[in-house]
Amino acid sequence: MRTALTEKKPVVVLGLVTALCILGDSMLYIVLPIYWREGGIASLWEVGLILSVNRWIRLPIHPLVGRMYRKISLRAGIFLAVALGSLTTVGYGFADGLPAWLLLRSLWGVAWSLLRIGGYYAIIRAANGKNRGEMTGTYNGLYRLGSLIGMAAGGLLGPWIGLRNTSLLFGGLSLIGILLLLSFPSETISGGEAETKKEKPARHPLGWGTVFPVLFSVFWVALVFQGILPSTLSAFILRFGETVTLMGFTLAATAWSGILQGARWVWEPFLAGRIGRWSDGTAGRIPLFVASLILSAAGLSVMLIFSAFPLWTAATLLVLLTGTSLTTLSDSLAADEAVRTRNDSLLPLTALAQDLGAAAGPALAYLLLESGADLWRVYAIAAAGFAVMAWFWHRNQSSGRAEKKERAGGADSAFSAGVVRVNKTIRREERKK
Please spell the DSSP secondary structure of 325-375, one letter per residue.
HHHHHHHHHHHHHHHHHT-TTHHHHHHHHHHHHHHHHHHHHHHHHHTT--H
What 3-state class would DSSP assign to 241?
A: coil
How many Å apart are CA 417 and CA 280, to the nearest integer?
37
Q: Angle 286-305/253-279 helices, nearest 10 degrees?
A: 160
Which DSSP state fits 182? T
State the pTM of this model.
Answer: 0.79
Contact indicator for 251, 307 with CB cutoff of 8 Å: no
- 323-361 CB burial, b ≥16 within 10 A, e <16: bbbbbbbbbbbbbbbbbebebbbbbbbbbbbbbbbbbbb
Residue 431 pairs with which residues in a beta bridge?
Answer: none
| Backbone angles phi and psi of 246, in degrees to 5 | -145, 125
How many Å apart are CA 6 and CA 276, to the nearest integer?
18
CA 150 to chain centre: 18
Contact indicator for 46, 148 with CB cutoff of 8 Å: no
How many Å apart are CA 269 and CA 281, to the nearest integer?
20
Give which of 241, 278, 339, 349 is closest to 133, Cα–Cα.
278
User: How many other C-beta atoms are found inside a 10 Å radius of the C-beta of residue 115?
Assistant: 26
pLDDT tens-digit series, residues 21-70:
999 888 887 788 777 788 888 877 788 788 888 888 998 999 999 889 88
In sequence order, what are the residues at sequence separation of 6 or more whose Cβ sits closer than 8 angstroms to the Cβ of residue 189? Answer: 10, 73, 74, 75, 122
The CATH superfamily holding the domain 7-197 is MFS general substrate transporter like domains (1.20.1250.20)
How many Å apart are CA 111 and CA 246, to the nearest integer?
40
Task: Output the CA torsion sign for 37, 41, 44, 49.
Answer: negative
Which DSSP state fits 38? G
**Fold exhibited by the domain 208-433:** Growth Hormone; Chain: A; (1.20.1250)
Same fold, 7-197 and 208-433: yes
CA distances from 302 to 66, 244, 318, 425 (A): 40, 19, 10, 69
In sequence order, what are the residues at sequence separation of 6 or more whose Cβ sits closer than 8 angstroms to the Cβ of residue 250? Answer: 243, 244
Give which of 1, 12, 38, 298 is closest to 161, Cα–Cα.
38
Contact indicator for 171, 159 with CB cutoff of 8 Å: no
Q: Quote the pLDDT of residue 398.
A: 54
User: How many other C-beta atoms are found inside a 10 Å radius of the C-beta of residue 402?
Assistant: 10
Identity of the residue numbered 401: R
Tell me which residues of the chain have a pLDDT lower than 70. Answer: 1-7, 184-208, 242, 248-251, 253-254, 372-373, 398-433
Domain spans in the chain, listed from the N-terminal domain onward: 7-197, 208-433
Q: Which helix (H) or strand (E) holds 244?
A: strand 243-246
CA 100 to chain centre: 29
SS3 content of the chain, % helix, strand, coil (to 5): 85, 0, 15
Q: Quote the pLDDT of residue 362.
A: 82
Q: Angle CA(85)–CA(47)–CA(169) in degrees, nearest 5?
A: 35
Contact indicator for 272, 328 with CB cutoff of 8 Å: yes
How many Å apart are CA 134 and CA 132, to the nearest integer?
5
Task: Output the CA torsion sign for 365, 146, 328, 113.
Answer: positive
How many Å apart are CA 385 and CA 227, to the nearest integer?
14
